[in-house]
Structure 1
Amino acid sequence: MDPGPSDGSVLTRQAEHRSTWIWDGPDEGERLDPQIVRYIDETGLSGLYGVPFISLDHALITALVERWRYGGHDGLPVEGLPVIGKTNLIWEEECERLLGVKPPAPVPKPNQNKSVLDGTRIKSKWLAVHFRAPLPENASEDLVQQYARYYLLELLGGSLFMDTSGGRISLLYLQFLDPISDAKKYSWGSAALAWLYRQLCNATDLKAKHISGALLLVQLWAFARFPHMVPKMKEPLQGALDPELPLGPHAIRYILLYPYCVTILVWFNYTLGIMSFM
């Protein structure tokens, strides 16, 4: 259904209006440079870039958290090396060595939260500025790898292992990308689930106000197990990075329709109410 009026001319400055984003979804942006894609593909994580934009239904996540319980989440299979690394590295130097940019000196206490780099967490906006420009045509291999590490760091720190720092991502994951090809040796799936389970447990605390982790996995779990909640679906597309990549991940079949989101929590609670009597 067309959400706008029959005469679109009555909507002044519609192209700049926030409702355009709501109706049409965010701009998917340009494809990554093939040189960067090559390195990302080496890590085995390129499928994550094939996941389309899916808006989180916070009410649905809250309903699931309210039904989460401690315990019974251990024993995850680890296929590869466990994601265990060092926490005492000099992160300014690691950032410069592996990303090619050095954060400015930290702001002394008590205003250390204004620093670009606070402990292991760096402001993602500051980092994004340095990688905003397209990769130069004659870029060296070192520069290509720095760009690839940046995109992988955003993926890992800002999606799979998202925390509650707000606008920051952790540099901890850089050590697993040195060299980039080492990343495929690690069991990222089990690490992401372990982190998510921990965050779900923390969020059940009566005083908890925030939640982190790969919450999109929770939402997709609900879609897969409660068919009446599933938004419009489509066949998996080819990889978002490159048309030559294999078919997209499972999540790419879900397209969230904004009017539909309003009814999700009602149906979810209704289903759980029925299940409680079974």
Structure 2
Amino acid sequence: MASSSTGEYPLYCGPEDPSVLYLQPHHITESIISGNDTDTFQPCKLDNNIFQAPMHDRVLGHIERMGFGGVYRCGKPKMLDASLIGALIERWCPETHTFHLPVGEATVTLQDIEMLWGLRVDGEPVILSQVNRTRENWVDTCLSLLGIEPSQAELKLGGFNATTLKDVVRHRLDDDLPEHYYMQHARIFVLLLLGCLILPDTSGRKIPFHHILLLDDENQCSQLSWGAAALATLYHYICDASCQKQKNIGGPLALLQMWAWERIPNIRPEIVDRVKYAGTTPCGIM
């Protein structure tokens, strides 16, 4: 960084070697350095109502065996601090996928996701099927695996609206139902976790049908690296935001906020009731 003769005020703020940070001309800091106004980032809204729905023990057992028990036990995430998210994005370097902070470079890692949410970070990658399916195929799949039928509008959009699934899990299940009812209910809960918290788009409300195909067999589902998928989704959205491609931000921003609180203690909110952590307790439980 170049500076004035007095050593007090910089003449130029930015990379010394443009060949390294080759995306700098598109980065949001370029607008800030030039003194131009920047758009306010709009994080996707967190839908916390899913944690208010009644949870049957047999449904929770299936959720645990599918590998999402840690995320569910973390419970209702705290309200997103849009200013904090925006400040982190302004310091994001898309070439290296790191935050440039006064103390050095830092980033969200697979270990962070495993520790904060308890999601699996090894195993098979999460790959969405690219096979085109007819609307009739999706209706049959949803009825078989979830016990519900999507509307014509949802079939046209290729995914459920989160409200549809929330209306289903709002009803308490009896204790003497066949086991497949509890399994269907568990899949719906997992879809809500994926679409609203782990892999949300910019709306935080649309849940693609292709996610359903990965939840057919709970043993195979538990072997997938959902943590790696969450991290890739987070990187994708904050890279786009830092390069000013969009002001609406999707991805697991609740995880990013927890990471910031964990790694930058002086901005962490006060913890009123501390959790007694065991070896497998996700650190995201507050």
With the length of structure 1 as denominator, give the TM-score of the two structures: 0.69
Does structure 1 residue 181 correspond to structure 2 residue 244? no
CA contact (8 A) 1:117 1:123 kept: no
Deviates more, 1:51-60 or 1:26-35: 26-35
User: Counterparts of 2:51 and 2:147 in 1: how far apart (Å)?
Assistant: 27
Match runs of 1:1-278 below 5 Å: 29=52, 32-53=55-76, 54-73=78-97, 79-87=122-130, 88-89=132-133, 90-104=137-151, 106=152, 115-233=153-271, 234-237=273-276, 248-253=281-286
User: Over residues 5-51 of structure 1, what are the superposed CA-to-partner deviations in whole Å (9 max), with x where a residue is unaligned?
Assistant: xxxxxxxxxxxxxxxxxxxx989646511110111111221011111
Q: 1:158: how far off?
A: 1.3
User: Counterparts of 2:172 and 2:279 in 1: how far apart (Å)?
Assistant: 25
User: Counterparts of 2:169 and 2:87 in 1: how far apart (Å)?
Assistant: 38
Deviates more, 1:60-69 or 1:85-94: 85-94
User: Counterparts of 1:41 and 1:80 in 2: how far apart (Å)?
Assistant: 17
> Once superposed, what is the RMSD of the aligned Cα atoms?
2.6
Q: 1:207: how far off?
A: 4.8
User: Counterparts of 1:201 and 1:143 in 2: how far apart (Å)?
Assistant: 41
User: Counterparts of 2:168 and 2:50 in 1: how far apart (Å)?
Assistant: 21
Q: 1:97: how far off?
A: 1.7
Instruction: Name 1:13's counterpart in structure 2.
Output: none
User: Counterparts of 1:155 and 1:63 in 2: how far apart (Å)?
Assistant: 26
Structure 1 letter corresponding to 2:127: I
Q: 1:206: how far off?
A: 2.5
User: Over residues 229-258 of structure 1, what are the superposed CA-to-partner deviations in whole Å (9 max), with x where a residue is unaligned?
Assistant: 1111243257xxxxxx976421123xxxxx
With the length of structure 2 as denominator, give the TM-score of the two structures: 0.67
Shift in CA distance, 223/139, structure 1 to aligned 2, threshold 3 Å: same
Structure 2 letter corresponding to 1:72: T
Q: 1:70: how far off?
A: 1.3
Shift in CA distance, 82/99, structure 1 to aligned 2, threshold 3 Å: same
User: Counterparts of 1:167 and 1:124 in 2: how far apart (Å)?
Assistant: 5
User: Counterparts of 1:131 and 1:30 in 2: how far apart (Å)?
Assistant: 6
**Which structure 2 segments of 5+ residues have no match?**
1-47, 99-108, 111-120
User: Counterparts of 1:206 and 1:198 in 2: how far apart (Å)?
Assistant: 13
Structure 1 letter corresponding to 2:154: V
User: Over residues 106-133 of structure 1, what are the superposed CA-to-partner deviations in whole Å (9 max), with x where a residue is unaligned?
Assistant: 3xxxxxxxx1333332111122223321
Q: Secondary structure at the match of 1:118?
A: helix
CA contact (8 A) 2:159 2:206 kept: yes
Q: Secondary structure at the match of 1:122?
A: strand
